[in-house]
């Protein structure tokens, strides 16, 4: 059974994951209208992943005797000055999400809720992966600079970057 405090904190995280999904959906749309098909595909995938993160929390809250709250969301940014700025925003947002997960872990320990603490470990690992991936992408963007040919290749290869980063983080 969830304490009221934990339930409130988990519901707050549900909202954050829902907003993350919207933030990346808006990025996907911006990239798509700019003709960056690869980047758009990457962002659509990220948006779906965030929705999955949200759903996983919703199921957990409801199964543990709480009531998952579906709430109003903040409107995301819909335009960016450059695709570099867009990925910087993605990285900053993931750091924000990681801090929020850390706060949740802290609360679960304070409340001696070891089931929630255990459940949250998946999110802790996921955030390490997502931050690493965002950092890898930013490194590539900094290498490209203003080179149009580089941007073309980046847009073509971005799906591969995510696959190889995931593989590096999860060696078989
Ligand atoms: Fe669900 Fe990207 O954090």
Q: Does the CB atom of residue 13 touch ligand 1 within 6 A?
A: no
**CA 71 to mean position of chain CA atoms:** 19
Q: How far apart are CA 137 and CA 132, in angstroms?
A: 9
Q: Does the CB atom of residue 53 touch ligand 1 within 6 A?
A: yes
User: Mean pLDDT, the chain, as a whole number?
Assistant: 93
% of the chain residues with pLDDT over 90: 85
Q: Residue 172 pLDDT > 60, yes or no? A: no
Q: What is the pTM of this model?
A: 0.92
% of the chain residues with pLDDT over 70: 94
Q: What is the pLDDT of residue 47?
A: 97
Provide DSSP, 114-168.
Answer: HHHHHHHHHHHHHHHHHHHHHHHHHHHHHHHTT-HHHHHHHHHHHHHHHHHHHHH
Q: What is the pLDDT of residue 165?
A: 61
Q: What is the pLDDT of residue 145?
A: 85
Ligand 1 centroid from CA 19, angstroms = 10
Dump pLDDT digits (tens) for 77-101.
999 999 999 999 999 999 999 999 9
Q: What is the pLDDT of residue 147?
A: 86
Q: How far apart are CA 12 and CA 39, in angstroms?
A: 29
Q: How far apart are CA 79 and CA 77, in angstroms?
A: 6
CB of 90 closer than 8 Å to CB of 134? yes
Dump pLDDT digits (tens) for 114-169.
999 999 999 999 999 999 999 999 999 999 988 889 889 999 989 777 666 656 65
Q: Residue 37 pLDDT > 80, yes or no? A: yes
Ligand 1 centroid from CA 101, angstroms = 10
User: Which parts of 64-112 fold into alpha helices (H)?
Assistant: 83-110
Q: Does the CB atom of residue 9 touch ligand 1 within 6 A?
A: no
Q: What is the pLDDT of residue 159?
A: 76
Ligand 1 centroid from CA 104, angstroms = 14
């Amino acid at each position: 059974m969830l304490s009221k405090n934990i339930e409130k904190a988990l519901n707050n995280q549900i909202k954050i994951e829902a907003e993350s999904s919207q933030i990346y959906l808006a990025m996907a749309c911006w990239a798509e209208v700019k003709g960056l098909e690869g980047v758009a595909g990457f962002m659509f995938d990220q948006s779906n992943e965030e929705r999955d993160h949200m759903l996983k929390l919703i199921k957990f809250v409801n199964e543990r005797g709480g009531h998952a709250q579906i709430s109003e969301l903040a409107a995301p940014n819909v335009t960016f000055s450059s695709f570099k700025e867009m990925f910087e925003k993605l990285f900053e947002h993931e750091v924000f999400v990681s801090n929020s997960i850390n706060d949740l872990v802290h609360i679960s320990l304070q409340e001696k809720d070891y089931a929630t603490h255990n459940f949250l470990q998946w999110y802790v690992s996921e955030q390490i992966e997502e931050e690493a991936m965002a950092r890898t992408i930013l490194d590539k963007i900094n290498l490209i600079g203003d080179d149009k040919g580089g941007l073309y290749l980046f847009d073509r290869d971005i799906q591969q970057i995510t696959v190889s980063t995931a593989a590096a983080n999860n060696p078989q």
